[in-house]
Amino acid sequence: MSKRSCLSIILAAGEGTRMKSSKPKVLHEIAGLPMVAHVLAAAAEAGGTETALVVGHGGEEVGRVAARLAASPEIFVQEQRLGTGHAVLAARAAIERGYDDILVMFGDTPLVEPAVLLEARRRLAEGAAVAVVGFRPHNPAGYGRLIVVDGKLVAIREDKDASAAEKEIGFCNGGLMAIAGSHALALLDKVGNANAKGEYYLTDIVAIAAEAGLDVVATEASAESVLGINNRAELAEAEAIWQHRRRRAAMLSGVTLIAPETVHFSHDTEIGQDTLVEPNVWFGPGVEVAEGAKIHAFSHIEGATIASGCDVGPFARLRPGADLQEKAKVGNFCEVKKATIEKGAKVNHLTYIGDARVGAGANIGAGTVTCNYDGYSKFFTDIGDGAFVGSNSSLVAPVTIGNGAYVASGSVITESVPEDALAFGRARQKTLPGKGKSLRELRASAAAAKK
């Protein structure tokens, strides 16, 4: 199989009006990645050597996004929407270059599995001219039926044209197709538009190939793998299926998910074995978690790196650029952004650390804030190894807290603190005996006067 060249043609010209969105349908996301990118990835994993992406008129945005996410697919424009056969032929220039296999896929089927595509290609390698991917839905009504005789696919009968006996067939057209490159253009050019809609249907090549004495076969996939997305309800269903697959894969790789149905992964989440994830954790894009970490409940993590033995949450937020090194701790109601928390450092409670370094073994007290933004620019805070910052302190960047230094609770630190120094940045307490009582009486009197 590896020696066979393969062109993947991905049809993404549909307007997706049922999505009720200004965004092209195939750019709606599953696990933080556009649907079409999932399809591109599956094609690549199935050995696709080149990719042709067919977009509709005004589909430049789809092409731009796809170019950023995949290995530069070649973009073709279907100026008029005249059916799937017409859409495939929009990529004629690519087909004419000559490939062993041609895969025809749809940009709105994000759950397609590479194994399904590989099986269709395998059948081409065995001599089939066309391999159609079928599936068995719970209710076949509305789907085209695959008419198989003696192991050969002889026709695809649309539901409205099927006889009573054919309607009893549960094996249906999943839409995906593999075509032998040596026959592709000859078959596609014979597809006509003598139908009620005046469109060119890709499915017609099945009968054309069978009549020409060519082998046409059907392979079988799960209903999930060929699920097409037409509206936001189906988008949510596909998201749920993707998440179920990913959670299962994580658990089988040695990750403990206490309540897996409550954990959300992104398409690129990496998580090491022996990591424990408690309920209601959200992994956004760009998260890497090493072995043996603990992610406590209700934490929200994106664009972050978490080393082995780290402890995060509950109710922690790690934003892009957060880098937790070995055995670091970021506790409850803490936020870390573009900051390194070095080995064994602790940021335990109600704290914001942004644009900063917290040195190895340092301790950051509850309510500490790195004041990193002046309304125009961001500034850096450097907290040294073994430093201790007392609760409710504000560190006004740019500022450095030296190794082993102490910052007294309630301080506002505007100047750097030398190594091993103790810094106070607060007003001296003054106590006025009896003043509380007189103040309370004064306020009560004023309130009574307003009645």
Are 186 and 247 in a shared domain? no
More reliable by pLDDT, 197 or 318:
318
Q: How many domains does the chain have?
A: 2
* Residue 286: pLDDT over 80: yes
Residues designated catalytic:
349
- The CATH number assigned to the domain holding 403 equals 2.160.10.10
Closest by CA to 95, choosing from 139, 56, 51, is 51
* Residue 4: pLDDT over 80: yes
User: Mean per-residue pLDDT for 355-365?
Assistant: 98
Q: Which residues contact 262 (CB under 8 A, 6 or more apart)?
A: 279, 280, 281
Cα–Cα distance for residue pair 71/446, rounded to 1 Å: 74
pLDDT class of 2 with cuts at 50, 70, 90: low
pLDDT class of 330 with cuts at 50, 70, 90: very high
Are 165 and 307 in a shared domain? no
- If DSSP states are collapsed to H, E and C, what string results for 178-219? EEEHHHHHHHHHCCCCCCCCCCCCCCHHHHHHHHCCCCEEEE
Domain residues for the domain of 203 are 6-220
Are 213 and 298 in a shared domain? no
Cα–Cα distance for residue pair 194/197, rounded to 1 Å: 8
Are 268 and 207 in a shared domain? no
Q: Residue 291 gets which letter from DSSP?
A: T
Instruction: Annotate 121-148 with b (16+ C-beta within 10 A) or e (fewer).
Output: bbbbeeebbbbbbbbbeeebeebbbbbb
More reliable by pLDDT, 327 or 152:
327
Are 165 and 98 in a shared domain? yes
Encoded tokens for 279: 């309920």
Contact 369, 351 (CB under 8 A): yes
